[in-house]
């Protein structure tokens, strides 16, 4: 922040870019720990800095952060409106767009799709997924530019996640097991397994769901032990269990501290 105030010209813009990305990282952490008000403040400050720096890639990435913050605050419709109106600010994809811009553009629409699904807006969910798919087709492979893990696989994962948010469990179960998340970072791989486990559980296929959570725990134990999806599923199974003690489930519940 001091450097932003002290420098001029290209150096100032570089500092604004770096500080905007710092606020983006802060937004991600704050949303995960439930500090929604602080997340919204951090996201807005990052957005303002990216706008001042006139940096389309960073600005688009910060729009996604603002959307995340709105989602964490339960403002789903506001998040949908933000993404729907974004092309007027940043423009649309061109054949000459940089790979970094295509990546953040597509990721932004994936976040918008989740917002639309949580707002129970099927039409906007479909449209945002379509926009993300177009970006993935232009990128043509999975990548991790600006740490967003965007590409065809992440689009496929979000089709499963949005189906679950919209209550379309059959679609999620049709798509989910066929997605190979291995090209993506571990966090995305585990998040997908948890989503498919939720779909299995919704159809009373608890053993399949439990197997996925145990597999995910082997890959990223801390993520599984602290994620609301895994904790909620295990707690529900424990409360509903009326038969003999399931040792695997019982020990998992102890590790998640929900026993």
| Angle made by CA atoms 108, 103, 149, in degrees to the nearest 5 | 90
Determine the pLDDT at residue 25: 86
CA distance 43 to 63: 8
What is the band of 9 on the pLDDT scale with cuts at 50, 70, 90?
low
pLDDT at 154 over 90: yes
Determine the pLDDT at residue 24: 85
Determine the pLDDT at residue 241: 83
Determine the pLDDT at residue 48: 86
Across the range 171-177, mean pLDDT stands at 97
Determine the pLDDT at residue 222: 92
Tell me the per-residue pLDDT of 62-103, one tens digit each, with 9 for 90 and over.
899 999 899 989 999 999 999 999 988 888 888 889 999 999
What is the band of 15 on the pLDDT scale with cuts at 50, 70, 90?
confident
Residues counted in the chain: 259
CA distance 69 to 65: 6
Model-level pTM? 0.90
| Angle made by CA atoms 250, 210, 248, in degrees to the nearest 5 | 30
Q: Give the three-class secondary structure for 185.
A: coil
Determine the pLDDT at residue 77: 96
Which of 5-9, 112-116, 137-141, 253-257 is predicted with the least confidence, judged by mean pLDDT?
5-9
Is 192 within 8 Å of 162 (Cβ atoms)?
Answer: no
* Dihedrals phi, psi of 194, to nearest 5 degrees: -65, -40
What is the band of 4 on the pLDDT scale with cuts at 50, 70, 90?
low
Determine the pLDDT at residue 7: 55
Mean pLDDT taken over the chain: 91
Across the range 195-200, mean pLDDT stands at 98
Distances (CA, A) of 156 to 48, 64, 150, 160, 185: 32, 19, 11, 7, 15
pLDDT at 1 over 70: no
pLDDT at 52 over 70: yes
Domain boundaries, the chain: 1-74, 77-184, 206-259
Determine the pLDDT at residue 3: 60
What is the band of 16 on the pLDDT scale with cuts at 50, 70, 90?
confident
pLDDT at 12 over 80: no
Across the range 46-55, mean pLDDT stands at 83
Determine the pLDDT at residue 184: 94
Across the range 113-127, mean pLDDT stands at 97
Tell me the per-residue pLDDT of 204-251, one tens digit each, with 9 for 90 and over.
999 999 999 999 999 999 999 988 899 999 999 999 888 788 899 999
């Amino acid at each position: 922040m001091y450097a932003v105030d002290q420098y001029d010209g290209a150096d100032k813009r570089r500092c604004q870019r770096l500080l905007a990305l710092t606020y983006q990282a802060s937004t991600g952490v704050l949303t995960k720990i439930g500090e929604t008000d602080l997340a919204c403040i951090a996201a807005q400050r990052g957005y303002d800095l990216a706008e001042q720096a006139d940096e389309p890639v960073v600005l688009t990435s910060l729009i996604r952060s603002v959307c995340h913050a709105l989602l964490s605050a339960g403002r789903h419709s506001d998040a949908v409106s933000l993404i729907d109106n974004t092309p007027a600010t940043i423009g649309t994809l061109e054949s000459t767009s940089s790979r970094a811009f295509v990546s953040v553009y597509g990721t932004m629409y994936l976040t918008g799709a989740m917002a639309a699904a949580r707002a129970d807006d099927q039409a906007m969910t479909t449209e945002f997924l379509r926009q993300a798919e177009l970006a993935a087709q232009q990128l043509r492979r999975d990548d991790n530019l600006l740490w967003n893990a965007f590409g065809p696989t992440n689009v496929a994962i979000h089709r499963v996640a949005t189906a679950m948010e919209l209550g379309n469990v059959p679609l999620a179960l049709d798509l989910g097991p066929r997605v190979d998340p291995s090209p993506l970072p571990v966090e995305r791989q585990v998040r997908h397994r948890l989503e498919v486990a939720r779909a299995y559980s919704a159809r009373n296929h608890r053993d399949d769901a439990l197997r996925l959570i145990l597999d995910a725990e082997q890959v990223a134990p801390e993520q599984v032990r602290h994620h609301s999806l895994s904790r909620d599923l295990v707690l529900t199974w424990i409360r509903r269990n009326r038969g003999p003690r399931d040792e695997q489930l019982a020990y998992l519940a102890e590790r998640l501290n929900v026993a």
